Amino acid sequence: MFYRKFGKSDWEVSILGFGCMRFPTLDGIPISENVNLEEAAAMIRHAVDQGINYLDTAYTYHNGKSEVILGRALRGGYREKVRLATKSPVWLVENPADFDRFLDEQLKRLETDHIDYYLFHGLNRRRWKDIRELDLLDRAERAVRDGRVGEIGFSFHDDFESFREIVDGFDRWSLCQIQYNYMDVDNQAGERGLRYASEKGLAVVVMEPLLGGNLARPPREIAELFQSFPVRRTPAEWALLWVWEQPGISTVLSGMSSMRQLEENLRTAELSGRHRLSEEELGLIEEVRRRYRARAAVPCTACGYCKPCPNGVDITENLTLYNSLVMYDDQLTPRFRYHRFLTEAERASSCTGCGECEERCPQGIKVSELMPEVHAVLGKGKAPSPRPQ
């Protein structure tokens, strides 16, 4: 295993981290609470034995079971070999006392007296406002002082401007966790956010390097492109190698669902530590990116000129989720994010068709005509077909 410096600290983190959101399940349903406990524990211990020293979970993963499973798996001396990261369920916190109530419950679940990295979960502009109004940053600092928490961080789902506001809004951040892969260089925090946080001295933890598994299961035309390249690797290997190539990243989380996936990722991590992608290999990823984008249903570039919507609709996020569903034929994740991360006012269903955004859109997108379809698809409807190439 190879290691990198973790932000401003002297500690070094394994380049591959274990994300505990996608344990193997007995019912075959991803992220359900029916986890195969024996296999999950074996995977965690094997990962630690192979040098992985950063484990990431959250209060809600596997319907609350992930932290419990992780705590049990780390018995017998394994807890001392790793650093644990988990997350405060910000959307469930209604008053300052709730912060400590959840934290204390998580310590019991994880069977530990301290959490090395405690993150505010899934921050966006709205949740950041809630955190400040409830004075939760002060609560987090108290938890550091009394030893229950080692360092404070946040995970993130919003745009770059919101990301920069959050990074600059608190001087005790130790780390941030962002979604990043070769398709998300301009999405959410994106490459600008990665650079910004790294230059500020934050450790950058990457989640979704395979975009929820979508980049490991490409459509036929993209799979054929990978297969035609002289260097033969799986789509998952290409995606992970590309992420590890990017400067400023401390560790890359993978939510592995089988021992086979764990072994494959361990081999890819070993390859990454010894091999740099050539110009030709980077060119392959560029062409893959171009072909994915050609599948998009709407030519939205997320430039933001349509903002602000007078009715509060998050136009770019709605179109990004809509495109994601089409590009990757992912029926689950975009719909989940539509309901989890957007308020009712921000969803496409709140569009009144006033047309103000259309006057500002450089791409000439007929937003008012699209929004009803976007809501029908992301809310409950049938997935649209990819745009013709």
- Token readout for 235 is 């789509």
- The Cα 298–Cα 322 span in angstroms is 8
Q: What are phi and psi of 18, to 5 degrees?
A: -100, 110
Is the backbone of residue 188 left (phi > 0), alpha (psi -120 to 50) or beta?
left
Instruction: Extract long-range pairs of 372-380: CB within 8 Å, 24+ residues apart.
Output: 372/348, 374/318, 374/319, 374/321, 374/322, 374/348, 375/347, 375/348, 375/349, 377/322, 377/325, 378/318, 378/321, 378/322, 378/325, 378/334, 378/335, 378/338, 378/347, 378/348, 379/335, 379/338, 379/347, 379/349
Q: Kindly list the distances between the CA atom of residue 49 and the CA atoms of 16, 79, 150, 332, in Å, as whole numbers in the listed order.
A: 13, 12, 24, 34
Q: Are strands 149-156 and 16-19 parallel, antiparallel or unpaired?
A: unpaired
**Which of these is catalytic: 54, 59, 61, 180?**
61
Please state the separation of Cα 327 from the chain's center in Å. 18
- The Cα 367–Cα 361 span in angstroms is 9
The greatest distance separating any two alpha carbons of the chain, rounded to the nearest whole angstrom, comes to: 63
DSSP one-letter string for 81-120: GSEEEEEE-GGG--SHHHHHHHHHHHHHHHT-S-EEEEEE
Residue 207 identity? M
Q: Tokens 């024996």 map to which residue?
A: 38
Does residue 117 carry a catalytic annotation?
Answer: no
Look up residue 47 and give its DSSP letter. H
Q: What are phi and psi of 276, to 5 degrees?
A: -100, 140
Torsion over CA: 120, 121, 125, 131 (sign): negative
Catalytic (active-site) positions: 61
